[in-house]
Amino acid sequence: MVLLLIAFWWATLEDNYYIERQLVIQATPAQIMTSTKSFKNWINWSPWQQADPEAKFTYEGEDGTVGSSMRWDSKADTVGVGTMTMDQIYGDDSIRYTIIFEHPWQMVSDGGFNCTVTDSGTLLTWYDKADLPFEMRPVGKMIDDMIGPKFEMGLAAIKEIAEARAAEEASVVEEDAPMELPEDFEMLPVEETTVKSFYYLSSVDSCSVDKLSETLGMLYGEVKMTLDENKVVPAGYPFAIYHYWDGKNTTMEAGIPVEKGKRKVDAMESYGGKVLKVVFTGPYNETERAHISISKYAEDNGIEITGPPWEVYVTDPTEEEDPSKWITEVYYPVN
């Protein structure tokens, strides 16, 4: 009789759920949706991607387009294993995606983001909905409490990134105005050249600029540990790609090259093609000279910079103690 009552109660439970959270952001839909359209950008704000530093993320398709996907594999049940596929992109107004959960449960859900421009700012809505398998119906009533706080954390992180981007773009001098250099600035030689792509293993994080060295050291330690565990020998100098930089905060990817034919880890392939290059000799906190030199050279010669810059650290500070002798190669991809 008890089992019968339980079965009856179970059958009366909702067979689906819908959850959403909203937040007003002082930025345009385009400045906001840059964070959500690109699965590779989710690492900068998604609570689940930051919940397990050991989780593996792989990407397929052209990032930021319909049909692109992201797969994650984590031993932590709070993250689990699954795949997310971009189904629809409506300009900068909204996106739709499908999630296939494989572990610790099997289920399919549909989610997305909507931007609505209001008098007080852009209202960003994040939602998720799904039909619940019979055995998971009791979980339906708890899903809002389980997922809601994560949505709120993610929206808050997107707000911080988007508003920083909006402030940066608002402060940019008009495009037609020439770049002004300090009176005592000495341009460094800029080389137009090409680079070949290579395979590498990396780790990504965001931090304030004053924590840059500390954070890079931690990221390189994580990558080196993975290489050591898999008995993989580095195939080149360590480098860092700076995906975001506003002078106060940065998102960087610390990488170490590995040989293509001897990879035992899930490696990524770097950019290959035309670049502007500067070889800088001196302490790391003065490499800004190289970046300014490249930016000014590109402006003066009508060259378009097409992606984030990266720095290659040729000199090992543990072997050369004099910072004035440290060699850093700075690259910018161009068309």
DSSP track, 188-221: PP-EEEEE---EEEEEEEEEEGGGHHHHHHHHHH
- How far apart CA 52 and CA 178 sit, in angstroms, is 45
Structure tokens at 148: 């809601």
Q: What pLDDT shows up at residue 3?
A: 42
What is the CB-side half-sphere exposure of residue 31 using CA atoms within 13 A?
A: 20
pLDDT of residue 134: 47
The rounded distance, in Å, linking the Cα atoms of 24 and 210 is 29
Given the structure tokens 């030199």, which residue do they identify?
Answer: 293
Other CB atoms closer than 10 Å to residue 153's CB: what's the count?
Answer: 16
Is residue 174 classed exposed, middle or buried when 0-12, 13-18 and 19+ CB atoms within 10 A define those classes? exposed
> What CA–CA distances, in Å, run from 229 to 65, 199, 205, 225, 267?
35, 18, 21, 6, 15
DSSP state of 104: S
Which amino acid would we find at residue 109?
A: S
Neighbours of 213 (CB within 10 A): 12
Structure tokens at 138: 């009791």
What is the C-alpha to C-alpha distance for residues 35 and 187, in angstroms, rounded to an integer?
34
Give CA torsion, residues 143, 37, 82, 61, to 10 deg: 160
Residues in the chain predicted with pLDDT less than 70, given as ranges, are 1-15, 51, 132-142, 171-177, 261-266
What predicted TM-score, i.e. pTM, was given to this entire model? 0.52
SS3 for 128-194 is EEEECCHHHHHHHHHHHHHHHHHHHHHHHHHHHHHHHHHHHHHHCCCCCCCCCCCCCCCCCCCEEEE
Nearest-angstrom CA–CA distance, 334 and 194: 10
Q: Which domains does the chain have, with CATH numbers?
A: 13-171 (3.30.530.20), 178-197+271-335 (3.20.80.10), 202-269 (no CATH)
